[in-house]
Amino acid sequence: MFKSFKVSLLVVSLALLGLAALPAYPSTETASLDLRPTEVENARTLLGENPNGERANPERRASTQDGAGSGGQVTLSIPKLGLEDIEVPTADSQVALDQEGIIHLKDTGVPWEEGSNTVIVGHALGFMRTKIPYVFYELEKMKPGDEIIVKNLAGKEFTFKVFDLLTVRPEDYWITYPVDDKTVISLQTCTPIPTFEKRLIVRGELVS
């Protein structure tokens, strides 16, 4: 009987050691902002600034953006920033962002889909090779009530009014997800210059 007890004790001890060796996972996930939805996992990170390459000179910026992208589903106008009918190609890579300066993030919404979140990413300070290097250089000047106008290929306009500005971490990919009971646009750039360690998000709600 004493021998059986020793064997049982050994089995229990080994089992406890096995459990102790398992990796520990947090029971909750820390959010960067109170606005963050609950029970959301970040499968990707937000695009941002590539540390390699020669930066464009912001002192050479024109008062209005006269560059043109490589075409896409939409054009973007922001009267507050002097942007008018900027062609926005659809892509999802850092390479494309560095080349174009502005992209409509692939697999996010389009304005004509109810309940969508159209995510447009643009450089604040691109590179010498970037087609539109400063498109969102002044994005931080946007205020609630400012207009963001998107046109589709047929020329139909979709007007958004800014309702929120927030700064998030690159891993806060949840900002690309739809917003409950709203059709929205999310403009994203890196902040602050020159560290580019955060992402500035300007959100507008469809009004017409």
- Assign 59 a pLDDT band (cuts: 50, 70, 90): low
Instruction: Kindly calculate the radius of gyration of the chain based on its CA atoms and give it in whole angstroms.
Output: 23
**Residue 5: enclosing H or E segment and its boundaries?**
helix 2-21
Q: What is the mean pLDDT of residues 57-76?
A: 58
Fold category of 2-206 in CATH: Sortase; Chain: A; (2.40.260)
Give the H or E element holding residue 100.
helix 94-100
Predicted structure pTM score: 0.73
- Give me the mean pLDDT over the 8-19 stretch: 49
Please tell me what DSSP assigns to residue 62.
Answer: -
pLDDT attached to residue 53:
54
Of all residues in the chain, what percent carry a pLDDT higher than 70?
Answer: 67
Q: How far is the C-alpha of 142 from the C-alpha of 207, rounded, in Å?
A: 17
User: What is the pLDDT confidence band of residue 151, given thresholds at 50, 70 and 90?
Assistant: very high
